[in-house]
Amino acid sequence: MSDWVRIADASEIADDEPFASEWNGEAIALYRHEGEIFAIGDICTHEHVRLSDGWFEGDRIECPLHQSCFEIRTGKVIEGGPASEDVASYQVKVEDGAVFVKRGI
Amino acid sequence: MTAPVRDEVGRITRGELRDLFDDYAACLDAEALREFPAFFTEDAKYQVISRENHDDGLEHASIFCLGRAMIEDRVTATVEAALYQPRSLRHFVSGVRITGEENGEVRAEANFLIIESLVEREPRILMVGRYLDRVVREDGSLKFRERTCVFDNYRIRTTLVIPV
Amino acid sequence: MSDTTLRNATDRVWPEDGVTRVPAWIYSDPEIYAKELKVFHYGKTWNFVGLDCEVPEPNSFKRSWVGERPVIITRDAEGEIHVVENRCAHRGSLLCWKNRGQAKDITCPYHHWTYNLSGDLMGLPFLRGVQGKGGMPRDFDKSKNGLTKLRVAVRGGSIWATYSDEVAPLEEYLGPEILMRLDRLVSRRPLRLLGYSRQIVESNWKLYWENSRDPYHATLMHPFLSTFGILRTDGDYHSVPLQEGRHEYTYSQYDPELKNKTSEASKQIKSIHSDLEVKDKEVVSSVVDEFKDGMMGAFQVFPTILVQQYFNCLVVRHVIPKGVGAHELSWTYFGYADDDETINRLRLKQSNLVGPAGFVSLEDSEVLSLMQPVVESCPDSVQVLEMGGHGTEAQSTMMTETLIRAFYDFYRREMGL
């Protein structure tokens, strides 16, 4: 994914609700936080489960299975849970109500 | 130790292996232990090892014989010295297969099941597992150059007296 | 266990003649057995659980047992060793099914509660429910719901665990004589695991415990020794009880010349065949005197292990109780990381001497498993232990039961019997 990819409509992404999406087999979750939209990989690096089914609070998503937490801005894992590796992070841009993502920050 | 000269007359067949395994089992069932070492070549390796050790690459075997002399020692120790309650053993060998062949030596595998009958006890399974063999023809008859008995039992019940 | 059952167990009265008589009910009474586990294995003792070479790398584990309880020895990512119960803190299911291996964390197969290798609960599925429904109460504290952790001590390559906060530090518990003997075998060089033999023996664990404190039976019940002239009744042999009977050690100085001398004492053993010889001498001799002291022997550390050196065969016998009428003998054979091919071969060959098929051990389980139903059928009968007198002192002979008497002296005090 070296180019910008259209992945959702901005109107679909609610304030406190993770939005699960996918592009070319890659699970990506979108989060709206303090008015801004963020995108990170959606599969926990500990066990295979969608993070977007977990607990979204503040700027972090908590895995529904074993409570590993990831920063929604960067995909970085927060120490304390069983996961030790970060999930992917994406750049996000919104154009004409459409959300585009691209690998990397 | 030098390997004995092998008489390579023809290929070893599955039928011949079955005969060898049946004769071997009959020898143990009859507790004719004095005849047991003759099933092996002089440089033979004979071992009875747990699947736990075997799968984990651990070398320790509950019975470990390097060379026929050690097999003979075990027979002598069992016949002359060992103290154990009388028992009847029946060996059931199945699934004899040739898995490889090289320079007149065949690699073979088979399953074994040994039922033990003791006084005041119903017959029970003593051991179940696989034979992993290297067999050669020597002076016209088949002999084990290696017999590794890998038992599936997590534990050996009470003792292991008679070879497997 | 209720207080009533404990009181019943202690209502038992030991025979009047003290430690020279052992009542048969101690081998079959389930209340005595339950109290033994509570007082000994789960009480103020250090239990051997394994060797460090069984968990050689960071993120590795090995199953073991303390009393009847399954435990897991882990080595975490930092290399630190932990011992935790192999029992999920949630519903009690067995966590670890594989005997040995590599893992970064421990996940229960039942509800996938996940623990780190030191036993802390890291997470559990659906802590917060699904779509706002279900889940754990808000006050559920993960930090209070980890695995049961045992206190751990490591000495050389040996790993020990205890449930007790009061037991003395391991070094003190073992004492200088055992420490010296343990260090001689497991602390001087890094260990190498050779493998396991396991057997299930249908006898009370104490029958086995006494058996390895009983040199009197060695040349009689194990005819291999006298038949091939390996251990002689007239050889140099020492039986030494320690800490008022808690531990013990035995040793003999191996004399390669002894075999060639005729001995009056050995002749008295009818099974001797002076014409029999072992063909492969490597099996029965110290080809390599690796400790440079010509010694072989064994020591017992209450309540779990007998550590034995037979020439170059090094083995820990772990006695694991499995109900009042059975025990598992788990034999762990080891050598050293820098062993060359010769010494490794000797160890493998000499391991034929001990184990489930051992030339000088197979009779033990054979006899004890036949003994158990007999002692169960006559619980009020007594055993006679007068070989070597009535005392519990160290003796320099094989013809003594001093170590068994010393054990029961200790046992009675600890059990209040």
On whether residue C36 sits in a domain, the answer given is: no
For residue C52, the 8-state DSSP code is G
Give pLDDT, residue C267: 52
Give pLDDT, residue B104: 86
Of the pLDDT bands very low, low, confident and very high (cuts 50, 70, 90), residue B2 is very low
On whether residue C18 sits in a domain, the answer given is: no
Same domain assignment for residues C181 and C151: no
Mean pLDDT over each residue of chain B, to the nearest integer: 93
Same domain assignment for residues C133 and C246: no
Same domain assignment for residues C116 and C184: no
What does chain A come to in residues?
A: 105
Query: Does the domain formed by B14-151 have CATH 3.90.470.20?
Result: no
Nearest by CB to residue C348, choosing from B59, B74, B76, is B59
Residue C96: CATH number of its domain: 2.102.10.10
Please give the residue range of the domain that contains residue C140: 47-155
On whether residue C140 sits in a domain, the answer given is: yes
Cβ of C125 and A55 within 8 Å? no
Beta strand ranges found along C86-146 (DSSP E): 100-102, 105-107, 114-116, 121-123
Tokens of C182: 């343990």
Chain C residue numbers touching A66 (CB-CB < 8 A): 112, 114, 122-125
CA torsion B142-B145-B151-B157 (nearest 10°) is 90
On whether residue C111 sits in a domain, the answer given is: yes
In a 13 Å sphere around the CA of B96, the CA atoms on its Cβ side amount to 16
pLDDT in tens, A47-101: 999 999 999 999 999 999 999 999 999 999 999 899 999 999 999 999 999 999 9
| pLDDT of residue B6 exceeding 90 | no
The gap from C-alpha C206 to its chain's centroid, in whole angstroms, comes to: 11
Q: Do chains B and C touch (3 or more CB pairs under 8 A)?
A: yes
pLDDT in tens, chain C (417 residues): 444 445 455 578 999 999 999 999 999 999 999 999 999 999 999 999 999 999 999 999 999 999 999 999 999 999 999 999 999 999 999 999 999 999 999 999 999 999 999 999 999 999 999 888 999 999 999 999 999 999 999 999 999 999 999 999 999 999 999 999 999 999 999 999 999 999 999 999 999 999 999 999 987 888 887 777 665 556 678 999 999 999 999 988 766 554 444 444 555 554 455 567 888 888 887 777 888 888 888 999 999 999 999 889 999 999 999 999 999 999 999 999 999 999 999 999 999 999 999 998 999 999 999 999 999 999 999 999 999 999 999 999 889 999 999 999 999 999 999
Give pLDDT, residue A1: 66
Same domain assignment for residues C336 and C373: yes
Same domain assignment for residues C144 and C247: no
Nearest by CB to residue A68, choosing from C123, C128, C142, is C123
Closest to C340 measured CA to CA, from C290, C286, C281, C285: C290
Same domain assignment for residues C390 and C330: yes
Burial (CB count <10 Å: 0-12, 13-18, 19+), residue A100: middle
Same domain assignment for residues C272 and C409: yes
Chain C residue numbers touching B62 (CB-CB < 8 A): 197, 355-357
Give pLDDT, residue C274: 57
Give pLDDT, residue C344: 96
> Cβ distance C240 to C249 under 8 Å?
yes
Same domain assignment for residues C149 and C256: no
Cβ of C362 and B80 within 8 Å? no
Domain count of the fold of chain C? 2
Task: Locate the domains of chain B by residue range.
Answer: 14-151
Residue of C nearest to B118 (CA): C370
Give pLDDT, residue C259: 47
| β-pair partners for C334 | C193, C314
Amino acid in the structure at residue C351? S
Task: Locate the domains of chain A by residue range.
Answer: 5-103
pLDDT in tens, B54-112: 999 999 999 999 999 999 999 999 998 888 999 999 999 999 999 999 988 999 999 99
CATH topology of domain A5-103: Rieske Iron-sulfur Protein (2.102.10)
CA distance C68 to chain A (A): 30
Cβ of A67 and C127 within 8 Å? yes
Ramachandran category for residue B42: left, alpha or beta (phi over 0 → left; psi -120 to 50 → alpha):
alpha
Same domain assignment for residues C216 and C303: yes
Burial (CB count <10 Å: 0-12, 13-18, 19+), residue C293: exposed
Give pLDDT, residue A29: 96
Same domain assignment for residues C218 and C119: no
Same domain assignment for residues C196 and C255: yes
- C-alpha to C-alpha distance for C99 and C109, rounded to whole angstroms: 16
Same domain assignment for residues C146 and C287: no
